[in-house]
Amino acid sequence: MARAATRRFNHSLRIGWRGPAAFANDRGRNAFEADMTPQSLQMLLALALGFAVAGLCSSAYQLATSRLPSFSLLNRGPSPAAFAAVPLLMVAAPFLIMRNTLRGRQLEGRRFEFVFLATLIAGFWSLMSGMVLVMTLQACALLLA
């Protein structure tokens, strides 16, 4: 009887119990977690805002004049109409570049590299015009506050 009370256990043979199951809203343990920084979110919103305002300006011009805007508005020579077209083309350029690029791809079968480069240019232009728009809205909010 004394022998049963003094049993020795091998502690290396323990059972490692699993932890509780992770639920759908729990984050797993990953080696890399990508959180979106406020700066990258601002850049993404500026990019989207730039494309949206470009499409809005292009559609407003088409509604007012019943013709599509194009870069040929600058070919009229030094006139007030060409001078007035510069701000419109500066804002609407990403939309015009993408429209002309996609139409050229469908109708002329342009190469992928050209379409990719035009998309990069339109995206960068949209990002910059969106940033100018965001900074202008922030400056107006500071003036009104």
If you ran DSSP here, which 8-state letter would residue 27 be given? P
Domain count, the chain: 1
Enclosing domain of residue 79: 46-63+71-145
pLDDT for position 57: 94
Asked whether residue 125 carries a pLDDT value surpassing 90, the answer given is yes
Round to whole Å and give the CA distance between 2 and 102: 90
- Residue 41 within any structural domain of the chain: no
Structure token pair of residue 127: 């990002």
- Residue 5 within any structural domain of the chain: no
- Residue 6 within any structural domain of the chain: no
- Residue 20 within any structural domain of the chain: no
Asked whether residue 95 carries a pLDDT value surpassing 90, the answer given is yes
Please enumerate in sequence order all residues whose Cβ is within 8 A of that of 91, keeping only pairs 6 or more positions apart, or say none. 53, 54, 57, 129
- Residue 23 within any structural domain of the chain: no
Q: Is the pTM of this model over 0.75?
A: no
pLDDT for position 30: 54
Round to whole Å and give the CA distance between 36 and 95: 27
